[in-house]
Structure 1
Amino acid sequence: MCAKYYYRYCPEGIESRYELLVFHKNGPFLPLTDYYHDCIGRNDKSTANSYLNNLIPFFNWLDDYSNYQGRRVQWDDIPEVIRVAVEDYLMNKMHCKVREKDTFRFVNKTNKSIKTVSRFLSALKSFYKSLIRLKKYMYSNPMIDSYAILNELKNEGVRKDKPRMPSEAGTEEPNSTRRLTDSYFKLINDEWQPEIIGDKFLPFEVYKAGKKVNWSLREQVIAHMLFEGGSRASEVIELTIGDYRARKSFQEAETFNKGSHGKRVKFIRFSKDTTKLLMMYINKERAKYDEFKRSYDELPNDAPVFLTTVGTSFTRQSWYYHWHKAMGKCEIKLNPHKTRHWFVTTSMREIYETSNTDAEITIRKNQLIQYMKWSNKDTIQVYEHYFDEEKHREIHNQMFENMKKLEEDYLKQKKNKKTKKPILTVLEGVKRIGMDEDILEMLEGLE
C-alpha cells in the first residue's frame, strides 16, 4: 500500500498560517491539516504529532481497503458507515477482537495486536471532535456512544453541571465506581478470550424471563434461534425472507458474518419446534403488521423476517429493549452475546460425550469451526482446555473414589489380621528404564 497521505513542515523563510501541511496525492488535504492545528491549540505538540501519525495509516487504509456496500468509505461519511470502517480496521489491520455490547463495542487486544490501538482510538475521537467544532463534519461524532451520554444525563438528574463538594467536606457520597467512557469503541486491555458458559438450563431461564414480561412471538423466536444457532443477535434479527428460502432445509437460514459486509457467507440452524414458531410468527403476528397483510408465500425475498409494530424492519437496538426488560425483571445479568458462548460450550460438551474416538472428536470439532465461521481456528482451544480440565476432574474424582475404597479394604484387613509392611516392588526396576530425570528424581524420594 503506497502512502497517499503524508505531511511536510513549512520551510524556513516561508510565511504561512500553517506550520504543517498534510497532503493527499500531492495536493493539500485540509481536514487533517486543520485538525492538526486545532489539536496543537488544545494539546501539546507531541500529542498532536502522535495523533496525526496514528491517523494517516487509517486514512491510507480507507482509500485502499475500506468497503461499505461495494464502495470505499470516505472520512466524512455518516457515523454508521465510519463505525463499520473503524471496526474493520481494528480487526483486520490492528488484529483486535471486537464484540457487540448493548449500544457500543468492546475492543480486545490479542497477542498480534499493534501497541498503538488505544492511541489510534483516542486520535480518531479527537479528530471528529475537532472537525465538528470547525463545522467541517456535519454529523455527530461517530466515535462517541450517544446512548451513554443520554444515560449519564438521566442519572445526573437535577445535579447537572452542579459541582461536587470536596471529599473533605463529608457532605456527599463518594464516587465509588469508575465512570465508563462515552467512547463507542471501548478498549479492554486484557487479551481476548471466549467465555465458557456451562449452565445447561440457561436457555430455559431466559425463556421463562421472557414469559414474565409477555414477550411477543417475535422475541421468543429470536431467543430460540440465538441459543440453538450460535449466531450473533444482528445475524438473526436482520434475516430476510430470501435468507430463509435460500436453504434446502426449513430448519436453516443463510446469514452474514462479522466483517462480510452483509454478504451471506454462512447459515444458522435451529430446531423443528423453533421452525414451527417462526412460521406461526410470519403468518400471524408478522402479517398483522405487514403493510399488505402478506403471509409467507406472498412475501418477496427482500422482505425482513422480523417487523416492528409499525411495519418497519426490526433492529437490534429495538430488540435489546425487550431483552433487557426480561433480564431485569428476573434479575439475570446476561449479555445476549453470551448465548453464542453457551452454544459453543454445549456443542463441545456434546462432541466430547458422544464421540467414540479421538479422530471422531477432531472431525466434529472441525465441523463446528466451519459452522461458526471462525477466522481464527485457535478460538476453539479455550473450549478444548475447559473440557480437558473437565475430563481430568472426572479421572481425578474417580481416583479419589478408588482411594476411599482401598482405604476401607485396608481397614477391614487390619481388623482381620496383621498385615505385612507393603513393598514398593514396582520402583525396583525403574532406573533400568529410560525415564525423564524429573520423574526419576521424584520417584527416588519414594524409595
Structure 2
Amino acid sequence: MQWNDSEGKIRVAVEGYLLHEMSCKVRDKDSFRIVNLTNKSPNTISRFLSALKSFYKSMIRLKYYPHHNPLIDEQAILHSYKEEVRGVRENKPRMPSVSGTEDPIIHRRLTDSYFKIINEEWQPQIIDDMNLPYRVYQAGKKVNWSQREMLIARMLFETGAMVSEIIELTVGDYRQRISHQEVSTFNKGSHGRKIKFLRFSKDTVKRLFHYIDTERKFFDENHLEFEQLPDDAPIFLSANGTAYTYHAWYYHWKRAMIVNELSLNPHKARHWFVTSRLREIYNVSKNEAEIQQRKNELIKYMKWKNPDTMNVYEHHFDEAKHREAHEHMLEQMAQREKEYTKQGKSSRKPKLAVLETTNIELIDEELQELLEELE
C-alpha cells in the first residue's frame, strides 16, 4: 500500500502497527478506535499518532492527499462541536497552546482523533457470570434471531473463538477434522492458514446440520444439502446467498443487546470461555503439575503464542486431554441451560459480574499474560 491510499486502508495499517509493533490493545468504539497501552508499549505512542495526524493535515492542505484525514474521526467533528475554532493566522491551522500565539480555548473540546489513547495500562477482564451464554440466547430469541445467529452465538461461547473465525468457516473446515464436534479454522496472525481447531457440543452439531439442510439450503442459489456442497462453500450465508460477513452479523447481535438492555461486546464471549476453562482447571486438578499441564493444553488450543514458534512443541499437545476436560465443561453448560430456562422470565436484569484480575488470588502473573493474548 501507499501513503496516499484511502483513509480506510491507512487506518488498517496504523492499527496493525499499534498492535504488532507497539504492543497496544486496540478495540472498536462507535466511529473510532480506543488504544490501551500495555507494559510493553513505548511512551512515544501519542507522539507517533500526533505526527501522523499533522502529516496528513499538511498533505491535505497542500492538496497532495485527496481523501479525509485518516487520523481524524469525522463523526466526532460533526457531533462534538459545530464550528471550527480558528487561529489568529488567516487560512492557517491553529497553533498549539504552548506556542503562546493563540488565545486560550475557554471550553474543553473532545479529541477528534480516530485513535483515542486511554492513559491507563490495559488490564484483562474476567467475566464471571455463569449464566451469561443463556442470557444472550434468550436475548436472541426475543428479537427472533434466525438459526444462523443463534448457532453463531452458541459457537462463540462453546469454542472461545473470535467472531470472524466462526463466520468465515467453510464446509471443508468441518470435513477435514476427525471428530464430528470439531472444525479447522484460521487464527489471528496466521494469514488465513488453518492452524487451529474449534470444538463444540453435540447439540450444536445437530443445530449446525439442521441449519445447513434447511435455512442455508433455502438461501443457497443451488439449494444444495451438506453432502452436495463443495469444500470451499461457506457454512454461513446471507439472505442474498452470498458469504456472510461480520458487519451483517453484528447488526443482529447489537439489536438483541439493545432491545434486552445488555451491554455486551461479542469479544466478551471469548473472555467468558477462558474464565470458565480456568475455573474448571482449578476444580479438577489434583496438584500444581496438573494445573500447569492443563494450562498448557488451553494455551495450545487457543493458539495464543506465535504459531510458528508453537509448531515446534505441537507434538506435546494431547488433543484427547483437552477434549475430555472440554466435554465436561459442555455437559455442565447444557445442564445449566436447562436449569436457567426453567427459571422463566425474571423482572430484574442482573448486571454482568466483572471481576478485577487483582481480586482473584488464583490468577497469577502467568495467567494474566495468558489472558492478555485474548485481545
Q: Is TM-score (shorter-chain normalized) higher than 0.5?
A: yes
SS at match of 2:196: strand
The one-letter code matched in structure 2 to 1:335 is N
Equivalence for 2:55: 127
SS at match of 2:120: strand
Is 1:320 matched up with 2:293?
Answer: no
Q: Is the 8 A contact 2:124 2:357 kept in 1?
A: no
1:94 aligned to 13, 22, 39, which one? Answer: 22
Q: Is the 8 A contact 2:125 2:357 kept in 1?
A: no
Structure 1 distance, partners of 2:55, 2:140, is 43
Of structures 1 and 2, the one scoring higher in RCO (CA 8 A, sep 6+) is: 2
SS at match of 1:186: strand
Question: Percent identical across equivalent pairs?
Answer: 57
Structure 1 distance, partners of 2:195, 2:30, is 25
Aligned residues: 294
TM-score when normalising by structure 2:
0.69
Equivalence for 2:361: 388
Equivalence for 1:304: 234
Residues 180/239 of structure 1: CA separation in 2 closer, same or farther (3 Å cut): farther
The one-letter code matched in structure 1 to 2:287 is T
Residues 351/292 of structure 1: CA separation in 2 closer, same or farther (3 Å cut): same
Residues 83/371 of structure 1: CA separation in 2 closer, same or farther (3 Å cut): farther
Q: Is the 8 A contact 1:282 1:295 kept in 2?
A: yes
Structure 2 distance, partners of 1:177, 1:335, is 29
The one-letter code matched in structure 2 to 1:298 is Q
Is 1:208 matched up with 2:181?
Answer: no
SS at match of 2:36: strand
SS at match of 2:281: helix
Range 297-306 or range 314-323, more displaced:
297-306
Equivalence for 1:109: 37
TM-aligned CA deviation for residue 92 of structure 1: 2.4
The one-letter code matched in structure 1 to 2:132 is L
Structure 1 distance, partners of 2:164, 2:148, is 14
Residues 83/346 of structure 1: CA separation in 2 closer, same or farther (3 Å cut): same
Range 315-324 or range 116-125, more displaced:
116-125
Q: Is the 8 A contact 1:102 1:320 kept in 2?
A: no
C-alpha deviations, 1:27-57, integer Å up to 9, x for none? Answer: xxxxxxxxxxxxxxxxxxxxxxxxxxxxxxx
Equivalence for 2:123: 193
The one-letter code matched in structure 1 to 2:182 is E
The 5 Å alignment of 1:411-430 reads none
**Where do 5+ consecutive residues of structure 1 fail to align?**
1-72, 164-175, 377-381, 392-447
Structure 1 distance, partners of 2:288, 2:225, is 48
The 5 Å alignment of 1:265-280 reads 265-280=195-210
Residues 121/292 of structure 1: CA separation in 2 closer, same or farther (3 Å cut): farther
TM-aligned CA deviation for residue 311 of structure 1: 1.7
Residues 331/119 of structure 1: CA separation in 2 closer, same or farther (3 Å cut): same
SS at match of 2:184: strand
Structure 2 distance, partners of 1:103, 1:270, is 34
TM-aligned CA deviation for residue 74 of structure 1: 3.2
Aligned Cα RMSD in Å? Answer: 3.2
The 5 Å alignment of 1:7-406 reads 73-101=1-29, 104-132=32-60, 134-144=62-72, 148=75, 161=82, 179=110, 181=112, 183=114, 185-375=115-305, 387-388=360-361
C-alpha deviations, 1:292-319, integer Å up to 9, x for none? Answer: 2222222222222222111222221111
SS at match of 1:388: coil
C-alpha deviations, 1:226-283, integer Å up to 9, x for none? Answer: 1111111122222222222232222222222222232322222211111111121122
C-alpha deviations, 1:88-130, integer Å up to 9, x for none? Answer: 3222221222335566543221111111112222333443454
Range 321-330 or range 278-287, more displaced:
278-287
Structure 2 distance, partners of 1:74, 1:324, is 34
SS at match of 1:294: coil
SS at match of 1:264: coil
Range 292-301 or range 279-288, more displaced:
292-301
* Structure with bigger gyration radius: 1
Residues 312/130 of structure 1: CA separation in 2 closer, same or farther (3 Å cut): farther
SS at match of 1:268: strand
Residues 302/347 of structure 1: CA separation in 2 closer, same or farther (3 Å cut): same
Structure 2 distance, partners of 1:130, 1:241, is 49
